[in-house]
Chains A and B, each alone.
Chain A
Amino acid sequence: GNSVTQMEGPVTLSEEAFLTINCTYTATGYPSLFWYVQYPGEGLQLLLKATKADDKGSNKGFEATYRKETTSFHLEKGSVQVSDSAVYFCALSGIGNYKLTFGKGTLLTVNP
């Protein structure tokens, strides 16, 4: 079945540091890949997505590239802000399959 493995946290960075959160997946075919973010006290929100190999999703300075050869979808941001402190979830949905399969989540704390 489908599965997602993401870097375990927590991750603590200083403001303006570079962020990488690793995510790898197992799925048949070409799933759609997502990063969701959960800010304190709020519901999950879609951060970015990519639907085919080599696509790059981007939003709010975050980027992730769909790498079929390494089955990865690592999240990156060049310069994090305190307001980026949240839990980040990598997720996938299989072809013709609406269900999201999530990783365990990575807690990011950015200190001023």
Chain B
Amino acid sequence: GAGVSQSPRYKVAKRGQDVALRCDPISGHVSLFWYQQALGQGPEFLTYFQNEAQLDKSGLPSDRFFAERPEGSVSTLKIQRTQQEDSAVYLCASSLFRGQSDGEQYFGPGTRLTVT
């Protein structure tokens, strides 16, 4: 079956522009996660959804970052007034179950955002 898909795969934005990154999780997966991966680093947690509810947004670096999952399926990560430090790969992951600490997360290919 289809895995997690993300679009666009690459995005170049001028500083100050708004961007929207899309994630299509595996059908039926309850949990959805966003991570940010800077060059040469491991992914870092941004936010977590259980169905349509955003239960944890503690990793969002500033109020310019906003995520939603209105129907409990597709999710969008929006970054307003992009800054150069926002340049990174944004990873989406989904998981079948609700917030299990040992549950497998299935990752998408990521969106590489470059802010110029």
Selected contact of B104 from candidates A46, A99, A105, CB within 8 Å: A46
DSSP majority for the A interface? loop
- Tell me, yes or no, whether B65 is within 8 Å of chain A by CB: no
Cβ–Cβ < 8 Å partners of B42 in chain A? 4, 89, 91, 102-105
Q: CA A49 – CA B100 in complex, angstroms?
A: 13
- Tell me, yes or no, whether B72 is within 8 Å of chain A by CB: no
- Tell me, yes or no, whether A58 is within 8 Å of chain B by CB: no
Number of interface residues of B (CB under 8 A): 29
DSSP majority for the B interface? loop
Q: Are B105 and A100 in contact (CB under 8 A)?
A: yes
Selected contact of A98 from candidates B99, B106, B107, B108, CB within 8 Å: B99
- Tell me, yes or no, whether A70 is within 8 Å of chain B by CB: no
23 interchain pairs, CB-CB under 8 A: A36-B107, A41-B109, A43-B3, A43-B4, A43-B108, A44-B93, A46-B106, A49-B102, A49-B104, A89-B43, A91-B42, A96-B99, A98-B31, A98-B99, A99-B48, A100-B33, A100-B35, A100-B105, A102-B43, A102-B44, A104-B40, A104-B42, A105-B42
Interface residues, chain B, with chain A CB atoms under 8 Å away: 3-4, 31, 33, 35, 40-45, 48, 56, 59, 91, 93, 95, 99-110
Sample of 8 more A-B contacts, CB < 8 Å, known A42-B109, A89-B42, A103-B42: A36-B107, A43-B107, A43-B108, A46-B104, A95-B101, A98-B101, A100-B105, A104-B40
